[in-house]
Amino acid sequence: MMGALRTVVQISRVELLRFLRERSNVFFVFVLPLALVVFIGLQFGGGMGTQLGAVAADDDAAASELVDRLDTAEGIEVVPIDDEDELRSLVSRGNLSGGVLIPDGYEDALRSGATFEIGFLGRPDATAQSLRTVVDAVVADQAAITGAASLAADATDQSVADLIDLAAQVREGMPGVTVSTEAVGGDELAQEFSALGQFDLGASSQLFLFVFLTSLASSAALIQTRQFGVATRMLSTPTRLPVILAGLAGGRFVVALFQALYIIVVTALGFGVDWGDPLATSVLVLLFCLVSTGAAMVLGSVFRNDSQASGAGVGLGLVLAVLGGSMIPLELFPAGMLVVARFTPHAWANTAMAEIVRRDGGIADVVMELTVLAGFAVVLLGVATFLLRRALTR
Amino acid sequence: MSDLLTCVGLERSFGDLKAVQGVSFSVAVGETYGLLGPNGAGKTTCISMIAGLLDPDAGEVTVAGQAMGPRASAAKNDVGLVPQELAIYPDLSARENLDFFARLYGLDTARRKRRVDEVLEVIGLTDRAGDRAGTYSGGMKRRLNIGIGMLHEPKLLILDEPTVGVDPQSRNAILESVETLATDGMGVLYTTHYMEEAERLCDRIGIIDQGTLVAEGTRRELVGMIGEQDVVRLKTVGDVQAAEAACAVVEGVSSTDVEEDTVVCLVDEAAPRLPALLAAVGATDADVSGVEVREPDIEDVFLHLTGKALRD
Ligand SMILES: Nc1ncnc2c1ncn2[C@@H]1O[C@H](COP(=O)(O)OP(=O)(O)OP(=O)(O)O)[C@@H](O)[C@H]1O
Ligand SMILES: [Mg+2]
């Protein structure tokens, strides 16, 4: 029994070793995931790259103040723009992440307490959504202080400017009151993501994408093991077929786990990514690695040619990642696509991860997702065992 | 009981194709036995059954008194298989390949280390032990392929055409190491379609064709099967097929074949038949440009038994 276990480990070890010796794999495993985490972090997480265009009248003090406030908001750089048309075109072309339009008369409106509309321009993407929340919050904040000061000025005959300072001071000393605007398409969403650190979203969505992709890529090594005749040769040794199958599966599993740990550890240490409850995340990741292993084993048994398998693996890995919300968050999916997403392990894993990371969920909160993933793993590993056994003993 | 390996009535089909039909033979302890046959004769299929990779449709294999089969771990422990196709990891070094298989054969640490070093020495790869096998020459890969099969010092070493595609020098080295192993008392089952190899290495030879063992014995016994016959080789210019057809009907000729531009005839006695053979060829469009008469060898035995040449 111990001997069999040791042999399983040996077969797995050699498969891992061979996987890591392939240069292109090293790039995919070590470099690409981190590059994408950083890229998405900068794009999506509202990092230094997020530019907000602003069109405002120069002689309007309140408008200038709003622009300053937006500029000091973390991760946003405000770019002054001359007119609405230019702003519109810059935003639509993606040169700016979003834009605010502050019509003339903003200061007067604030003081008089009249209703006033500030325009927000954004593409239908999540970056714009999260920018919008920030704008809403800053506007509401300014409006509250100025509005309160104006009212007080009317009542007390003091100058509005003095009162604004006073109000701001008063507010400093008060418990943080969050100002939220009425949800108009996507605001809840922005709220959800605004709780995340800059790189959190990139890291958790890339995790499953890459674990699955890397695992599928390792199916090429399995096919080589068959092609090279080594798998058959193993069968001529006293080592039994189940031990060999377990070893080959173990090889895939170790590759998947290795990829997962690498992304988790490096992003946690290097980018301060929060991975939530350790137990829940561990179970989730382990199950997802098993699912990936099963998929890789099926691929490695079905194909006869390693480059075909790599191609199919990358294709399948990317398609499932897109459908399962690893590229675009599931929250942005239309209802029909959500139904499709349910057939991918990625969607279940991403949903569970969102619960764990964004809402501080524990293992009890993601039982259903974990069960479904376990089901995926059992079915895929079962099918793979059947196919591989047949391929090796034919 | 001195039989190391016994095969009784082995049969195996792939779909409608009967690859092996009723093969029985045995190999004694320390004996080197050759399975000689052309491409597709069923040698590899036999060997796969003997090594426990394939379940026979009928028949039995016994190795050192133990029944062999896909689940027979104990019997497999007594057999070392060197497959016809290279079965090594090209992305691992020779040492890593050997170490890996030594573990699969269940060698303990001390023995594993010793055997890996010994085998590297035997196959002459000690100097290149750390390089990836993919960077080796064809002959070196073949030697590594063989080395893996002898790691656990099996009682029976099975080599399936180990010299195919190997340069003459490596080939000789391989044959020498097989001879050494046999001298040390290891039983060897050796398949080939090279008659010279079978004659040089094997105590006994089984001739296999179309899935059946058509003859078996020592070289002497096999050649004796075609009695006192002679081989006449007529080198021709012109239509060699027509020349063969003409020779085939000459009295005293038991079989004919064509090897490139030469007609090979098996005749009861060379001297009295030569004039008739030359006349027969002369009557066709072809001319005889050279004549050779010699004693028959195993290739001629094969020709006699099957009516065709061992090699295409
Ligand atoms: N897995 C298989 N599936 C289908 N047919 C097979 C299979 N293995 C062997 N055969 C067929 O069985 C016959 C015997 O093949 P085998 O490989 O045993 O011949 P061989 O004597 O080893 O030939 P060679 O000298 O070319 O290696 C051939 O006709 C071959 O095509
Ligand atoms: Mg063969």
pLDDT at A160 over 70: no
Q: What is the mean pLDDT of residues B273-281?
A: 92
pLDDT at A191 over 60: no
Q: Cα–Cα distance between B39 and A93 in angstroms, integer?
A: 68
pLDDT at A190 over 60: no
Please judge whether B100 and A14 are an interchain contact, meaning their C-beta atoms are less than 8 angstroms apart. Answer: yes
Q: What is the mean pLDDT of residues B89-104?
A: 96
C-beta of residue A186 within 8 angstroms of C-beta of residue A132: yes
For residue A1, what pLDDT is reported? 65
Of A109-113, A388-392, B129-133, which gets the smallest average pLDDT? A109-113
pLDDT at A181 over 80: no
- The half-sphere exposure of A75 on its side-chain side, counting CA atoms within 13 A, is 18
Of A91-105, A337-351, A357-371, B8-22, which gets the smallest average pLDDT? A91-105
Query: Of the residues B7, B10, B13, B14, which should be mutated to test ligand 1's pocket, given the most ligand atoms within 8 Å of the CB?
Result: B14
pLDDT band at A150 (very low <50, low <70, confident <90, very high): low
Q: Where are the domains of chain B?
A: 3-224, 229-295
Q: What is the pLDDT of residues A45-54, one digit of tens each?
A: 544 457 888 8
Q: Which residue has the higher pLDDT, A185 or A116?
A: A116
How far apart are the CA of B13 and the nearest CA of chain A, in angstroms? 12
pLDDT at B234 over 80: yes
Phi-psi region of A18 (alpha: psi -120 to 50; beta: other; left: phi over 0): alpha
pLDDT band at A291 (very low <50, low <70, confident <90, very high): very high
Q: Look at ligand 1, atom 16, and give the residue with the nearest C-alpha.
A: B42
β-pairing, B3-14 vs B262-267, is unpaired
**Fold exhibited by the domain B229-295:** Alpha-Beta Plaits (3.30.70)
Lateral strand order in the sheet of A51-56: A77-80, A51-56, A98-102, A119-122
Lateral strand order in the sheet of B79-82: B79-82, B156-160, B187-192, B32-36, B204-209, B212-217
Of A50-54, A147-151, A243-247, which gets the smallest average pLDDT? A147-151
**Least distant ligand from the CA of B36:** 1
pLDDT more than 90, % of chain A = 37
pLDDT at A178 over 70: no
pLDDT more than 90, % of chain B = 72
**The domain at A50-187 falls in which architecture?**
3-Layer(aba) Sandwich (3.40)
Q: Cα–Cα distance between B22 and B60 in angstroms, integer?
A: 10
Burial classification of residue B110, based on how many CB atoms lie within 10 Å of its CB (0-12 exposed, 13-18 middle, 19 or more buried): exposed
Q: What is the pLDDT of residues B48-76, one digit of tens each?
A: 999 999 999 999 999 999 999 999 999 99
Q: Which residue has the higher pLDDT, B29 or A73?
A: B29
The pTM of the full predicted model, rounded to 2 decimals, is 0.75
How far apart are the CA of A22 and the nearest CA of chain B, in angstroms? 9
For residue A163, what pLDDT is reported? 65
Q: Cα–Cα distance between A203 and A259 in angstroms, integer?
A: 13
pLDDT at A347 over 70: yes
C-beta of residue A279 within 8 angstroms of C-beta of residue A362: yes
pLDDT at A243 over 80: yes
Please judge whether B104 and A14 are an interchain contact, meaning their C-beta atoms are less than 8 angstroms apart. Answer: no
For residue A12, what pLDDT is reported? 94
Asked whether this chain's domains B3-224 and B229-295 adopt the same fold, the reply is no
Q: Where are the domains of chain A?
A: 7-44+196-393, 50-187
Q: Which residue has the higher pLDDT, A346 or A176?
A: A346
How far apart are the CA of A386 and the nearest CA of chain B, in angstroms? 16
β-pairing, B32-36 vs B58-63, is unpaired
Q: Closest Cα to residue A46, out of A77, A23, A11, A21?
A: A77
Which atom from ligand 1 is nearest to the alpha carbon of B208?
Answer: 21
Q: Cα–Cα distance between B169 and B174 in angstroms, integer?
A: 9
CB B41 less than 6 A from any atom of ligand 1: yes
Q: What is the mean pLDDT of residues B74-95?
A: 95
The per-residue pLDDT of chain A, averaged, comes to 82
Q: Closest Cα to residue A199, out of A37, A30, A33?
A: A37
Please judge whether A10 and B105 are an interchain contact, meaning their C-beta atoms are less than 8 angstroms apart. Answer: no
- What token pair was written down for A121? 């321009």
**Three-class secondary structure assignment of chain A:** CHHHHHHHHHHHHHHHHHHHHCHHHHHHHHHHHHHHHHHHHHHHCCCCCCEEEEEECCCCHHHHHHHHHHHHCCCCEEEECCCHHHHHHHHHCCCCCEEEEECCCHHHHHHHCCCCCCEEEECCCHHHHHHHHHHHHHHHHHHHHHHHHHHHHHHHCCCHHHHHHHHHHHHHCCCCCCCCCCCCCCHHHHHHHHCCCCCHHHHHHHHHHHHHHHHHHCHHHHHHHHHCCHHHHHHCCCCCHHHHHHHHHHHHHHHHHHHHHHHHHHHHHHHCCCCCCHHHHHHHHHHHHHHHHHHHHHHHHHCCCHHHHHHHHHHHHHHHHHHCCCCCCHHHCCHHHHHHHCCCHHHHHHHHHHHHHHCCCCHHHHHHHHHHHHHHHHHHHHHHHHHHHHHHHC
Which atom from ligand 1 is nearest to the alpha carbon of B46?
Answer: 18
Q: What is the mean pLDDT of residues A364-377?
A: 96
For residue A249, what pLDDT is reported? 95
Residue B296 alpha carbon to ligand 2 centre in Å: 26
Q: Cα–Cα distance between A101 and A56 in angstroms, integer?
A: 7
Of A98-112, B112-126, B204-218, B264-278, which gets the smallest average pLDDT? A98-112
Output the CA–CA distances (angstroms, integers) from residue B91 to A15, A224, A248, B131, B134, in the order listed: 10, 10, 16, 9, 6
For residue A383, what pLDDT is reported? 97
DSSP β-bridge partners for residue B187: B156
pLDDT band at A173 (very low <50, low <70, confident <90, very high): very low
Residues on chain A touching B70 (C-beta within 8 angstroms): 235, 241, 393
For residue A27, what pLDDT is reported? 84
- What token pair was written down for A175? 């418990």
For residue A174, what pLDDT is reported? 37
C-beta of residue B50 within 8 angstroms of C-beta of residue B86: no
For residue A59, what pLDDT is reported? 83
CB B39 less than 6 A from any atom of ligand 1: yes
Of A103-117, A139-153, A377-391, B274-288, which gets the smallest average pLDDT? A139-153
pLDDT band at A179 (very low <50, low <70, confident <90, very high): very low
The per-residue pLDDT of chain B, averaged, comes to 92
Of A66-75, A152-161, A383-392, B90-99, which gets the smallest average pLDDT? A152-161
Q: What is the pLDDT of residues A258-281, one digit of tens each?
A: 999 999 998 888 888 889 999 999
pLDDT at A71 over 90: no
For residue A169, what pLDDT is reported? 61
Q: What is the pLDDT of residues B102-150, one digit of tens each?
A: 999 999 999 999 999 999 999 999 999 999 999 999 889 999 999 999 9
**Least distant ligand from the CA of B159:** 2
The listed CATH number (3.30.70.120, 3.40.50.1580, 3.90.1170.50, 3.40.50.300) that belongs to domain B3-224: 3.40.50.300
C-beta of residue B180 within 8 angstroms of C-beta of residue B7: no
pLDDT at A194 over 70: no
For residue B312, what pLDDT is reported? 59
